[in-house]
Each structure stands twice: as structure tokens, then as C-alpha cells.
Amino acid sequence: MNTHFTYTDAPDKSSLKQGDILAKTPGLISLIDTIHPHYSANEYTHFQILTQSCDLVRRNGSDCKSRYITLAAVRSLDLVINRYISEIKSDAPIKIDEKLFCSSKNKYLLEDKLKKIYNNNDKELFFLKKMPQLGLPEDSCTFLLLSIAIRAYEHYDLCLDAKILELKDNFQSKLGWLVGNLYSRVGTEDYVPAGAPDKATFEQMINEVLQEHIGWIPENIYKEFKSTAKTLDYKDFDEIITKATENKDKKCKTKLDAIISKIAKAASLDDDAKEKVRNSLAADPTIQKVINT
């Protein structure tokens, strides 16, 4: 079975390593319930080992060097994206028919955050690509700041039984660098070309993920969109977007009429000249920017 480029195709089932992803087996859940019950919640779907691989080696049947195994909580990527969306303050999202909509001017912020996550360049998160057939059903992120420690000599085999995925060596190193907050950068494959053949495909993937979570409204009509949505009680998106566009067009026309009226009065223009001025101004990008604000 071919796994994602971050995982090894032949995980070592006899030893734990940094970056191993652990399923919430009954035994592990029982342990977590006892020592850290908060992390038994369903939103924490898996755990990832943060302890260095060299400290987890068991030689000649003896215990590993580390006295403790540090586990970080894993949560869905959906949860991360929704959290980012909730942090948008400028032209904040609104909900219509149970779907969120936001001004397109904020889209680049989420795009940048997602690119960092996918390429594991976020200092607090480590991206885990879904592998449903191996027990990781959805794209997820390890929250590196949400970690717990369990006794290695007592719970090593419990973790080994829960192991479902193992990172490749270079991604183990990248995780270690993130955890240790070192001052040098560990090189790992980026999503282009390892996970996507080219930049355009990667951009499309990012866009599709964002579209699943929120609808993007053109910035120039977003204020009208919010106002109209409130008037129509946040129901029927099609009617809201139609009326918002119509209202915006009317306001733009009113502004353009006012500009032409002042020009015509100052220059004593006849109707034919006024129409020529209208056509010229309507096609001018600078004027369009003015009347669309």
C-alpha cells in the first residue's frame, strides 16, 4: 500500500519513534481517562509522539532511555480552519442558510495559513494527511503545545499497540526541529511537487478546501451583502446576492450620475457630450474604483 509522502511504507512495529501517530485504542483511552481526562474528548482524535527516537530505543530487552513518553494531541484540520475563520475581525463572516460567507479580501489570509500548515511551516502545528485505510480518517493537525507525558517503562507497549503510522526520517527531524525550536531549518519535501504536481494544482487544492468551509463574496459588494442579509433574515442566499448586487449597482450609478452632472454643469455639455463622458468614465478603472467604495 502506498502511503502519503510524509509516512514510511514499512513502519517499525517493534519500536516507537518520534512522530508516530497513535490511535485512541481502548487501552490508551483508559490511561488518558485516568491521568489526563480532558484529552479523552472526541475532538482529540489521535496522539503523536514527540519524544526523540534515540531516547525511545529499547536495547537487549531493557527499557528505553527516556523515563517519559510525550504525546501531543491531534485534532481535525476542519477544526483548525474553523478556528481561523472565527478569528476574522475585518468584515467578519456571516451565516446564511447554515453556511458561512465572508468578503474575498480575507481569503488570502486563510490561504497563507493553509499553505504553511500543508508544508509544515507553522510553528505550533504539524500536518497529518489522512490515511483512512490505516486508521486516520481525515486530514488532521498535531497541536504541539497540547502535550502530556506518560511513564515509558509502564506504558511503552500500550503506545506500541496503538501505533498506526510512522513518519519518514526527514519528517521526524522536522517535527523534532519544531518541538525543539531550533535555529536551523530542517529540509523536507513541500506539497509541490511531493503532494501536488505543480503550483496551480496546489493553489486549486487550497481553494477547494476553503470553499468547503466558507463562501467568498466579492469585496466590493460585501457591505451590501451583509445589509441585505440582515433585511432578509439571513435566509435564501440567491435572493440576498441578487438584491445586494442590484443595490450596489444602483449606488454606483448614483455616484456616477453625480460626477457627470458636475462635469456637465461646469463645462456646459449637451446630452450627446454627457453620454460620451458617461461612457468614458464608466470604462475607466480609477473611476470604477471610486464609485465602488
Of 165, 189, 217, the domain-final residue: 217
In the structure grid, which three cell numbers stand for residue 100, read together?
Answer: 458561512
Query: For residue 52, is pLDDT > 60?
Result: yes
Q: Where are the beta strands (DSSP E) in the chain?
A: 21-23, 46-49, 68-76, 94-96, 99-103, 125-128, 140-151, 163-165, 215-217
Quote the pLDDT of residue 73.
Answer: 97
CA distance 202 to 8: 23
- The answer as to whether 103 is a domain residue is yes
Ramachandran assignment for 57, one of left (phi > 0), alpha (psi -120 to 50 degrees), beta (any other): beta
d(CA 172, CA 18): 6
Instruction: Provide the residue range defining the domain that includes 173.
Output: 21-217
* Dist. CA 225–CA 103, nearest whole Å: 9
Domains: count for the chain: 2
**Most confident option among 32-36, 44-48, 61-65, 171-175:** 44-48
Q: What pLDDT is stored for residue 181 in this prediction?
A: 66
Three cell numbers at 56?
Answer: 525511545
Cell of 283: 470604462
Residue 248 sits in the same domain as residue 210? no
Q: Are residues 44 and 185 in the same domain?
A: yes
Question: Do 158 and 245 share a domain, yes or no?
Answer: no
Q: Which residues contact 73 (CB under 8 A, 6 or more apart)?
A: 39, 44, 47, 142, 143, 146, 147, 148
Binned at pLDDT 50, 70 and 90, residue 291 comes out as confident
Task: Classify residue 38 by burial, with Cβ atoms within 10 Å: 0-12, 13-18, 19+.
Answer: exposed
Examine residue 4 and state whether it is found in any structural domain, yes or no.
Answer: no
Distance spanning both ends of the chain, measured CA to CA: 55
12 part of a folded domain: no
pLDDT tens-digit profile of 101-133?
999 999 998 999 999 999 999 989 999 999 999
Over residues 133-150, the pLDDT tens digits come to: 999 999 999 999 999 999
Q: In what order do the strands lie in the sheet with 21-23?
A: 125-128, 140-151, 68-76, 46-49, 21-23, 163-165
